[in-house]
Amino acid sequence: MRLTSDYKGMFSTTISDREIERLLTGSPTENGELSDLAVFVEMMRAYDTRVPSDQAVDRLAIQAARLARAGRSSAAATSGSSDRPPLRRRVLRPQIAAAAVAILMITGATGVAAAADAAAPGDSLYGLDRALERIGIGAGSAEERLEEANQLLAEGKTRQALEHATEALDEDDDEAARAALDIAIEGVETAGDQNATVVQEKVGALLTYMSQNIGKGVGADGREFGQGVAELAHGITPPDATDDLAPIDTPPPGNDNKPDDNGEPGKGNEGASNQGTESGNSNAPGNGTNPGTGSNQGGGNANPPGKNGNGPAPDSPSVTAPGRGNRP
Amino acid sequence: MPLGPSFEATLGAAKEGAEWAWAALYRDLAGPVTGYLASRGAREPEDLASETFLQVARNVQGFDGNEAAFRSWVFVIAHRRLIDSRRAQGRRPAMVPLTTHEREHSGGNVEDEALDTLVTDELQAALEELSETQRDVLALRIIGHLTLEETADVVGKRVGAVKAAQRRGLLALREHLDLERVTQ
């Protein structure tokens, strides 16, 4: 039975805005004449029962989070980090963020943040640096990790540099590179202090390759990068194993020894090399990272690792010179 | 179910790129957004809802506002996506029937389900008689749980026009629905 026109006319004149609102928002209607319409409205509302699966939610969340981070890094216009897929380690709970913001407010913010941003591993402000990065203050990029690794390398801390470089890698996408770096670390450990310069240079080449290529191809397959790292990492092996390997591309300027001269294990010079390296280090880290000079850091802290004049230069003669002298 | 007091922190974390925050936002809004898209004839409402959220993620850095503003912004994007997909499909919007699984939420036994089917068919037939704006407005208000003002934002009309559209839409629905025919 269809509704009569009389009924319709009555309905249209008597239905109030309030009743319409109750119908639309799902409140029980007070007008009995509207109850059948309310049934259809509820049927329509049943479309809202489409609940996504947990998998669908997870998939969406991962993608959306990536896009949001990408949008943020381009919005923040941080130094050259632009189109690289951001790292997962940014994910952090809001209460930690709130705590860090509170610290910032108490300590007077920008100077400390800038000083912390320049801090390298081992410095007192480094923990804060990482905490700030996690909430998006300061460039917490893979590049920064690699720059810090370079700084460690310049200070002669080769193994630590490699270990630090692993932190630049994406947890999920750079598995191959991570495995390769583990091999490199092993190689450095096995090499000990013999041929430290050569090892150092190879690690330097590896770090340079990483900073130039990290993030590229990760979206598609992530393998290209991992293979590149692996090739360079495999080159870092104990001296006895590198005897017959091709010499490294460019001998450091001012170092008069030929690369292949280093093939022979040094005899009894480990101690000397070691000390040379260590003494070179001891006064290196302070500059540019000292909290006291923090306020200057924001503006002029351009202390790019690699051009860092404080640590021993990679071609520091003290490391390998004795080895050569002792060759039979 | 709105996030309420935790919305601000969740949005902040979402902007930082926290996956848990996006999961929370999506869980909250996927139902109404997908339902709205389905009710308005989207062929793949789930896909369209995902695309909507990815678009939200791309632009979230520029968003600033409370939860109500966020909801209507999400629906603005969903609405645009819907219009785009309609153009791509080149066909008249029709209501996509609820699946059996979805009917289980509102019913249970076989009899109820059969009745639901009849009611749904009747509802679809009646909705066909409404104007597109009326269907949009009713779907946004009923399925999307948007307020009058938020709905006006989404469809790009004044509040008065939305008010008129929902009234006329309900009247037209009333006119073309016949519950007795269904239940007899």
Complete DSSP assignment for B14-83? HHHT-HHHHHHHHHHHHHHHHHHHHHTT-SSHHHHHHHHHHHHHHHGGG----HHHHHHHHHHHHHHHHH
Res A161 pLDDT > 60: yes
Query: What CA–CA distance (Å, rounded) separates B2 from A190?
Result: 58
A113 falls within a domain = no
- Note the ipTM here: 0.79
Tell whether the model's pLDDT for residue A4 goes beyond 70: no
Task: Please check whether residue A87 lies inside any domain of the structure.
Answer: no
Q: Contact A50/B38 with Cβ under 8 angstroms? A: yes
Residue of chain B whose Cα is closest to the Cα of A14: B171
Say yes or no for a CB contact (<8 Å) between B31 and A48: yes
The residue with tokens 């789930």 is: B46
pLDDT above 70 (res B159): yes
Q: Average pLDDT of chain A? A: 61
Q: Quick check: is A266 in a domain?
A: yes
- Residue B17 has a pLDDT of 92
Residues A152, A301, single domain; the answer is yes
Of B61, B119, B170, nearest to A43 by CB-CB distance is B119
Amino acid of residue A17: D
| Cβ–Cβ gap A64/B14 under 8 Å | yes
- Give which of A12, A31, A33, A50 to mutate to test B binding, by max B Cβ within 10 Å: A50
**Number of domain units in chain A:** 2
Q: Per the CB < 8 Å rule, is A48 touching B35?
A: yes
Residues A304, A187 share a domain: yes
Q: Which of B102, B163, B166 sits opposite A49 (nearest CB)?
A: B102
Residues A14 and A145 in one domain: no
**Are residues A61 and B171, on separate chains, in Cβ contact within 8 Å?**
no
CB-CB: which of B23, B56, B167 is closest to A20? B167
- Give the pLDDT score at A206: 84
Arithmetic mean of pLDDT over chain B? 82
Flag if A37 and B59 touch (Cβ within 8 Å): no
CB-CB: which of A8, A40, A44 is closest to B39? A44
Most confident option among A182-196, A254-268, B109-123, B130-144: B130-144
Cα separation, A82 vs B1, whole angstroms:
36
Q: Are A51 and B9 in contact (CB under 8 A)?
A: no
Provide the pLDDT for residue A238: 57
The answer on A174 and A298 residing in a single domain is yes
Percent of chain A's residues with pLDDT above 70: 43
In a domain, A57, yes or no: no
Taking an 8 Å cut-off on Cβ atoms, the answer to whether B178 and A97 are in contact is no
Spatial distance between the Cα atoms of B32 and B29, rounded to a whole number of angstroms = 6
Instruction: Name the more confident of B18 and A153.
Output: B18
Asked whether the beta carbons of residue B17 and residue A68 sit closer than 8 angstroms, the reply is yes
| Higher pLDDT pick, B33 / A72 | B33
pLDDT tier at B179 (50, 70, 90 boundaries)?
Answer: low
- Asked if B46 and B34 touch (Cβ cutoff 8 Å), the reply is yes
Task: Among A2, A44, A62, pick the best mutation site for testing chain B contact (most B Cβ within 10 A).
Answer: A44
What CA–CA distance (Å, rounded) separates A227 from A223?
6
SS (H, E, C) chain A: CCCCHHHHHHHHHHCCHHHHHHHHHCCCCCCHHHHHHHHHHHHHHHHHHCCCCHHHHHHHHHHHHHHHHHHHHHHHCCCCCCCCCCCHHHCCCHHHHHHHHHHHHHHCCHHHHHHHHHCCCCCCCHHHHHHHHHCCCCCCCHHHHHHHHHHHHHCCCHHHHHHHHHHHCCCCCCHHHHHHHHHHHHHHHHHCCCCHHHHHHHHHHHHHHHHHHCCCCCCCCCHHHHHHHHHHHHCCCCHHHHCCCCCCCCCCCCCCCCHHHHHCCCCCCHHHHHHHHHHHHHCCCCCCCCHHHHHHHHHHCCCCCCCCCCCCCCCCHHHHHHHHHCCC
Q: Which domains does chain B show, CATH number per domain?
A: 1-96 (1.10.1740.10), 97-184 (1.10.10.10)
Would A186 be classed as within a structural domain?
A: yes
A43 neighbourhood in chain B, CB within 8 Å: 106, 116, 119-120, 123
Residue B36, Cβ neighbours under 10 Å: how many? 30
- Kindly report the three-state secondary structure assignment for every residue of B79-99: HHHHHHHHHHHCCCCCCCCCC
How high is the pLDDT of residue B50? 94
B40: left (phi over 0), alpha (psi -120 to 50) or beta: alpha
Query: Least CB-CB distance to B106: which of A25, A46, A66?
Result: A46
Residue B144 DSSP symbol: S
Inter-helix orientation angle B132-142/A35-45, to 10°:
80
Our CA-based measurement puts residue A126 at a distance from the nearest CA of chain B, in whole angstroms, of 21
Is the pLDDT at A10 greater than 70? The verdict is: no
Number of CB atoms found within 10 A of residue A291's CB: 17
> Which of A24, A46, A97 has its CB closest to that of B141?
A24
What average pLDDT does this structure show over B122-151?
88
Q: Has residue A205 been placed in a domain?
A: yes
Q: Which residues of B124-151 are buried (b: 16+ CB within 10 A; e: fewer)?
A: bebbeebeebbbbbbbbbbbbbbbbebb
**A316 class by beta-carbon count within 10 Å (0-12 exposed, 13-18 middle, 19+ buried):** buried
Tell me the chain B residues in contact with residue A99 when contact means C-beta distances shorter than 8 Å. none
The answer to whether the predicted template modeling score (pTM) of the entire model surpasses 0.95 is no
Are the C-beta atoms of residues B36 and B140 closer than 8 Å to each other?
A: yes
Q: What are phi and psi of B106, to 5 degrees?
A: -100, -15
Query: Is residue A96, in this structure, part of any structural domain at all?
Result: no
Write out chain B residues lying below 8 Å of A23, CB-based: 170
pLDDT in tens, A270-324: 444 444 444 444 444 434 334 433 334 333 333 444 334 343 444 434 333 343 4
Judged by CB atoms closer than 8 Å, whether chains meet at A60 and B13 is answered as no
Q: Could you report the per-residue pLDDT of A195-222, keeping only the tens digit for each?
A: 778 888 888 888 888 887 777 654 444 5
**CB spacing of A43 vs B15 below 8 angstroms:** no
Most confident residue range from A174-178, A256-260, A281-285, B131-135: B131-135
A30–chain B nearest CA distance, Å: 16
Higher-pLDDT residue of A3 and B178 is B178
Q: Pick the more confident residue, A115 or B161.
A: B161
- Whether A150 is in a domain gets the answer yes
* Domain span holding position A298: 141-322
